[in-house]
Amino acid sequence: MSMNFSEFKKLIGADPGNKDPETLRARHSSPEFEAAADEAEVFEAKLQTALHIQPPVDLLDQIKGISQQPVRQRNWVPLAMAASLLIVVGAAGLVWKQSHTWDSVESYVADHYSYDGSDTAAKATDFLSDQDISKILAKLDARADQQLANRIKFIKFCPTPDGRGAHMVVSTDQGPMTIFYMPKTQVTDGEMVKFDQMHALLVTLDHGSAAIIGDQSQNVESLVAIVRNSLKTGLVDV
Amino acid sequence: MNTDTERTRRFSELAEAYSTDLYRYAMWICGNDALAKDLVQETFLRAWRALDSLKDVAAAKSWLITILRREFARTFERKVPPFTDLEKVVIVDDNELKPDESTERDLLRQGILKLDPKYRDPLLLQAVFGHSCAEIAEQLGITKSAVMTQLFRAREKLKVQLQKDGVTGNVHELF
């Protein structure tokens, strides 16, 4: 049975490129059908024009650069510098961690920062390349977007209460602040921890958490949105 | 051929084939150029890590769209992005469009951004990626009949908006 005009309009309104024989037969069955099909094609051309957006010129190059990152399943990542850093920092961290236990995230943050926070912040003088940052964060199934990556002046692996994490120093207009990224540690979002002359704001992330640490004159809340939005975590699950 | 070289080649081919359409799609679902770029990069980062699980090259487009949609859902749970002035990101060759056509294009763009996602999603999958109704149904997990209805209504809503705003001529309020 041939379709009526209402059915035909709905069909070409839903699928203007429909070229099946029945639709074509209906189209050519009368001037009214033909006009409706022509009208649908004109609208489709306008829709295509409206949808046409050029991507940023550097997008493709940036995407292709992703393939330079190590794949998690492999064991042989030929990154001598990263490996050296891992061994040195990991060994130091292991010694430190073996001599410390933490009964809470709060005590971990205070203890960790007291151990090397100030020294590390003082040594962080130059901004790092995206590659240096991704070498560390990729191992933690994380990534820093430009908004955060552009501020990072130091990054290394560090122990956390629940395994390996990252210790970062970031530049702000109030001076350097420190971020501990704890991939497997749960915190109370928004809790402020005070110790010595410092304070640390605990922030939950998609996966794990972070502590944003500054001296008590610094507004650590100012980094919350950047950390939440730009520290992409839990990247293994597709 | 070295498997790593082969893997990188496969990834590059995916990037070349789909990054532009994925960016367009991301831009229209989130309305924010920085977030769209981020979504596409995130999509390809996840794709790179999971590339070995992609056995059927023909399924690559749908696979990437699925990754992007999941990533967008995650992002959207965290925050609602501010909409961007489209003129900042659209490269427009106005020499090819007459003033009336340019106005219509702008009205349509605003209409697309205003569409309810249940209408916009199938429309974008069809118009940006060239998905068939059956493919859209599979992607969105709805029936083909529902897809047809939503596509028809999406276009009707855009046409109504075009006529309504075209008559009142309030294009200057759009951006």
- Strands (E) in chain A, as ranges, are 143-144, 152-160, 163-170, 177-182, 192-195, 198-204, 209-215, 231-232
**A157 - beta bridge partners?**
A166
Does A217 score more than 80 pLDDT?
A: yes
ipTM of the complex: 0.84
pTM of the model: 0.58
CB contact under 8 A, B40 and A66: no
CB contact under 8 A, B151 and A62: no
Beta A143-144 vs A231-232: how paired, if at all?
A: antiparallel
Which amino acid type is present at position A176?
P
A125 CA to chain B: closest CA distance, Å? 28
CB contact under 8 A, A60 and B78: no
First to last CA, chain A: 47
- Strands (E) in A47-174, as ranges, are 143-144, 152-160, 163-170
How far, in Å, are A11, A232, B66, B123, B134 from residue B141 at the CA level?
21, 27, 11, 15, 10
Does A17 score more than 90 pLDDT?
A: no
Nearest to B105 among A44, A50, A228 (CB): A50
Residues of B in contact with A43 (CB under 8 A): 155, 159
Rounded Cα distance between B40 and B38, Å, is 5
Does B147 score more than 60 pLDDT?
A: yes
Lowest mean pLDDT among A9-13, A57-61, A72-76, B164-168: A72-76
- State pLDDT tens for residues A52-106: 988 998 899 999 988 876 654 434 344 455 455 545 554 555 555 555 567 788 8
Comparing C-alpha atoms, which of A228, A216, A227, A230 is closest to residue A179? A227
Q: How many other β-carbons are positioned within 10 Å of the β-carbon of residue A208?
A: 24
Residues of B in contact with A6 (CB under 8 A): none
Helix (H, G, I), strand (E, B) or coil at A202: strand
Lowest mean pLDDT among A87-96, B114-123, B137-146: A87-96
Helix (H, G, I), strand (E, B) or coil at B170: coil
CB B152 within 8 A of CB B142: no
Structure tokens at A7: 């059915």
- State pLDDT tens for residues A91-108: 555 555 555 567 788 888
Instruction: Report the range out of A5-14, A17-26, A114-123 with the highest average pLDDT.
Output: A5-14
The answer to whether B79 faces chain A, any CB pair under 8 Å, is yes
